[in-house]
Structure 1
Amino acid sequence: MEDKKKRNAKPAEETPLKEITENEADALHPEDSVETAGECMRQHEASKWPVAEDSKLVGMVTQENPDWKMGGMGHDPKAWKVGQIMSQSVAFCYEDEDLGAAERMMNERGVDHLPVVDREMRIIGILSRQQIKARMQTVEKNDGDD
């Protein structure tokens, strides 16, 4: 007899992002130094990272190791602000979109981390490829348990 839960289960790709985006958004602020941005991005192993003001998404640091690059160009990464180097063109997904949409956005934009926002553009979390992979594996494992 087929388990009712399995019969009604949705594929992992259809999981709403708000169900798996539980982490606090560790976004940068436009007034943070470029040095802080570089440290944050290395900590998260990210080549791009969101920037928020009053919890709302306003931009993205799109340069990997921006502090090292600024220093290499003879600029002081402590003196430069994130707002001076951020891009205002940002890849993101809404919390009510599904995992499949987030994965497609990551693939299209070539990013490993994606801000997840509500409809007022407040960041509710940052989704990583690792979280997507883990969710897919969990669902596949549970589907295989009979």
Structure 2
Amino acid sequence: METFFYVVPGLMIALALSALIGMLRRARHISGAWNSGLTAEARCLNTYTTTSGGGGDSSVSTTLHHVYEFTTREGRAVRFEERNGPRTVVTGDIVTVRYTAEHPERATAKAPRPGRLIAEQGCMLVFFGVFIAFCLVFMFTVHAGFGVLDDVVP
């Protein structure tokens, strides 16, 4: 029984760390694309939405996806998908994308807003930090509680 109170928070911490790493990695890719200076005109090939959540009494979240295609300076055709892009871009629109020469498939059609990116990263770091700290405090509290119970219960 005591193991359950270590395994579940441990898994929650592992999930939080993997989400944090993924978020930081994507932010680094976007920042790199903004700072590379390489731009191209891309055509929006498709837009679609995905939903998550149960509906009914629980909330439903909708995510907008765009599929873009552009040609790099070297003549390579690149197609990529981006989530949470501008809602005003529709299929057939031409947009400016920014990319790095090493990984053009990590391009972004989002306009450069480094201040907003830093603020979002800071908020997410605080959120995940508090979440992980809560899990650790819970684990230590449970550990101390089981130690007290061991002394009380023969």
Q: Specify the TM-score bucket, using the shorter chain as the normaliser.
A: under 0.3
TM-score by length of 2: 0.25
TM-score by length of 1: 0.26
Identify the structure with the greater strand proportion.
2
